[in-house]
Amino acid sequence: METEPPKSKGWFWWLFVFVITTLVIAASVLTLRKNFNRSESKASPAPGHGGAIVHKYAEALNIAMQFFDIQRSGKLVNNQIAWRGNSGREDGTEANLDLSKGMYDAGDLMKFGFPMAFTATVLSWAILEYGEHMKAVKELRHAQDSLKWITDYLINAHPSDNVLYIQVGDPELDHKCWERPETMTERRPLTQINTSYPGTEVAAETAAAMASASLVFKNTNKTYSKLLLEHAQKLFAFADTYRSSYSISIPQVQEYYNSSGYGDELLWAASWLYHATRDQWYLRYVTVLNGNGFANWGSPTWFSWDNKLAATQVLLSRVNFVGSKNIPTAENLGLQMYRETAEAVLCGLLPDSPMATSCRTEGGLIWVSEWDALQYSVASAFLAVLYSDYMLSSQTSTLFCNGELYEPMDLRKFAISQADYVLGENPMKMSYLVGYGSSYPQYVHHRGASIPVDAQTGCGDGFKWLNSSAPNPNVAIGALVGGPFLNDTYIDSRNNSMQAEPTTYNSAFVVSLLSALIATNSPVIRSFA
């Protein structure tokens, strides 16, 4: 009969076995995890922590960025668009200014300062939030160069504190021609705002563009960043001191980019100036001083070139999420009001929310207007994924929508649904981003794209290319066209400017959305300054 081992020896023995076993298991798990992470990073490297590149969005971003190159005016540098050349070299000469740079607005050859500045602001925002994503797919430098092409123009368009040139070209003259930008011959008059003819919304939007861009270039070009911020502060002071809508001061702008009011632009610009300077006065401006007057708290709106309230609410929610320490109580209460209104906007976007908007097609696309329909859907999707990332980064787990709770992933799923619709998952089975996929618009309403490079046509006789039944000889790659009707249909006709005309601000929206969705991970949200 075997003798039972002493109890003390058995206790140490089983403890020893338990410890050794635990260490072996832990080592095995750690090895497996390292191997798993290593294999994942080889397959789909991505910026940040634990994410993977979504290749269809990366490809779409590479394509979308090229439309900014197509729209460039001036002497082109490192031109990658074979059918584009130098143009607009004399713009600004009648005022002894160099306004040759900047970008043409849409399918025409106008430079409208209001939407161009807005394009720069949105592109800056995308770079600031998702620059690491852009860098991972080699588009960050491209985005920065495109932004600088606009801000170089805006700097020159602001020759003195209270003067801003807001337009190059006469729309009536411009629209009597159908020609390539390289061969245009009509007069290119300038339009300015000043103390006698003020324009608060366009001055404020230009201030927002310069303030946000100053943050983009802060670590790579300090001198340029400082110059942009100086212009931004002067323009904001001009906008705020001489309050009047440019649509009233200069009635002829009403036909093209008529403003619905300037309150949103003042809040938008002051918000960007707060981020750029950390000057508490700008925060007080948007909360205590002007929140009640301009913010329209509690009333959701649509983000567009004309209305920046929803975007301002999200941008100031960012402060509430990650930077609200040492902010006075009154300002913090105002920030909370902005955040609550932002969440009302977002609850309206979620299709299953009790607050869901009815402004969408049967195919699931947010749809607000038959003119440039995709502007609203893509802009909404960008705000949704951005807010989702704010929530994740701040470890905010739920969004409350009138009795129902939603997670950050619900906002991201909505954003993905809009992006996928644009890229081809729609009833038409076509991509609305020109150059992406096998089926996309062939008759884009765009002069340069519609006229062969070697065509010998001038102002009036170029209309034969507008009316031609042949597809565009040049692909306006990266253009985001206006988009579908409410019934999810699209008529691919060059004369259908309502649906077939792209804009630079549409490109800014889609670049922002795709940059957010490129990686599966959420970036760490930090202060811009």
Amino acid present at 487: N
Name the DSSP letter for residue 65.
T
pTM of the shown model:
0.91
Return the SS3 of 123: helix
Return the SS3 of 221: coil
**Residue 64 scores a pLDDT above 50:** yes
- Does residue 445 carry a catalytic annotation? yes
pLDDT digits (tens, 9 = 90+) for 309-359: 999 999 999 999 987 788 999 999 999 999 999 999 999 999 999 999 999
Write the burial class of residue 314 (CB in 10 Å: 0-12 exposed, 13-18 middle, 19+ buried).
buried
Catalytic residue, from 133, 158, 275, 445: name it: 445
> What pLDDT does residue 16 have?
37
**Residue 206 scores a pLDDT above 80:** yes
> What pLDDT does residue 11 have?
37
Alpha-carbon dihedral sign for residues 376, 378, 381, 385: negative
pLDDT bin (cut points 50, 70, 90) of residue 480 is very high
Please state the φ and ψ torsions of residue 111, each to the nearest 5 degrees: -115, 100
> What pLDDT does residue 40 have?
30
Name the DSSP letter for residue 324.
-
The tokens for 208 are 């927002």
Mean of pLDDT values over 39-55: 55
Please provide the size of the chain in residues.
Answer: 529
How far apart, in whole angstroms, are the C-alpha atoms of residue 49 and residue 41? 11
What's the N-to-C CA distance of the chain in angstroms? Answer: 80
> What pLDDT does residue 162 have?
98
pLDDT digits (tens, 9 = 90+) for 81-98: 999 999 999 999 999 999
CA nearest to 235, candidates 216, 209, 254, 217? 209
Return the SS3 of 133: helix
Q: What does the mean pLDDT of the chain come to? A: 91
> What pLDDT does residue 249 have?
97
Mean of pLDDT values over 356-365: 98
**Residue 13 scores a pLDDT above 80:** no
> What pLDDT does residue 20 have?
40
| 265, 208 contact by CB (below 8 A) | yes
Please state the φ and ψ torsions of residue 404, each to the nearest 5 degrees: -115, 145
The tokens for 167 are 């337009």
CA nearest to 441, candidates 486, 490, 488, 485? 490
| 494, 445 contact by CB (below 8 A) | yes
How far apart, in whole angstroms, are the C-alpha atoms of residue 385 and residue 253? 34
The tokens for 525 are 């949200």
The tokens for 271 are 């918000």
> What pLDDT does residue 47 have?
45
> What pLDDT does residue 522 have?
84
Residue with tokens 């404020």: 204
How far apart, in whole angstroms, are the C-alpha atoms of residue 509 and residue 332? 29
3-state secondary structure 143-200: HHHHHHHHHHHHHHCCCECCEEEEEECCHHHHCCCCCCHHHCCCCCCEEEECCCCCCH
> What pLDDT does residue 271 have?
98
How far apart, in whole angstroms, are the C-alpha atoms of residue 498 and residue 372? 6
How far apart, in whole angstroms, are the C-alpha atoms of residue 302 and residue 471? 34
**Residue 5 scores a pLDDT above 70:** no
Beta-strand relationship, 190-193 and 164-168: antiparallel
pLDDT digits (tens, 9 = 90+) for 251-290: 999 999 999 999 999 999 999 999 999 999 999 999 999 9
